[in-house]
């Protein structure tokens, strides 16, 4: 659903957002929770009981609420919640974890209303695309937003 194929947690990932200087190429910021259990029984209980389903349902309801309220327009990071549930047996060096990246998906597939076209056919000149590209690189708030779609309102725009 548009998410990167890999989720990498860097040393800086666990610090304050203000410490994030630059997003790695192809990266996307995510915000979420890390829940670590002390015993394997608690971990298994979470996975097999209703707690995991409840966490995902609660996250989806929150995500839907952020979209309906318009909060995602001010903070696009709200569109990418992540939950990591883990157990670490430090004596035996055994680790178990599960990761949830809940997303809302449309019931029907996307519809193309026009054929894709090359830049030369869009009437958006190279200078405009360069300006948009530089703005995305320079503005950290836009970089945190993640994915962008450039849309031409009319054929003359």
Of residues 78 and 29, more confidently modeled: 78
Do the beta carbons of residue 101 and residue 81 sit within 8 Å? yes
Read off the pLDDT of residues 132-147 as tens digits, 9 standing for 90 and up: 777 777 776 666 666 5
Mind giving me the DSSP string for 4-31?
-S-----GGGGS-GGG---PPTT----E
* Least confident among 16-25, 52-61, 87-96, 116-125: 16-25
Do the beta carbons of residue 19 and residue 44 sit within 8 Å? no
Half-sphere CA count of 118, side-chain side, radius 13 A: 1
Geometric angle at alpha carbon 31, from 26 and 33, rounded to 5°: 130
**Predicted local distance difference test score (pLDDT) of residue 145:** 63
Do the beta carbons of residue 101 and residue 80 sit within 8 Å? yes
């Amino acid at each position: 659903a548009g998410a990167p194929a890999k989720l990498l947690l860097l040393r800086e990932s666990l610090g304050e957002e203000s410490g994030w200087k630059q997003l790695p190429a192809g990266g996307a910021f995510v915000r979420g929770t890390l829940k670590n259990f002390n015993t394997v029984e608690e971990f298994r209980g979470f996975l097999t009981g209703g707690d995991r389903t409840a966490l995902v349902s609660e996250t989806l309801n929150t995500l839907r609420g952020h979209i309906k309220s318009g909060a995602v327009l001010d903070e696009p990071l709200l569109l990418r919640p992540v939950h990591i549930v883990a157990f670490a047996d430090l004596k035996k060096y055994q680790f178990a974890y599960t990761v949830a990246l809940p997303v809302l998906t449309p019931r029907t597939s996307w519809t193309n209303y026009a054929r894709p076209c090359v830049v030369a056919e869009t009437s958006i000149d190279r200078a405009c695309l360069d300006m948009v590209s530089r703005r995305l690189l320079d503005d950290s708030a836009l970089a945190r937003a993640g994915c962008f779609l450039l849309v031409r309102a009319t054929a003359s725009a």
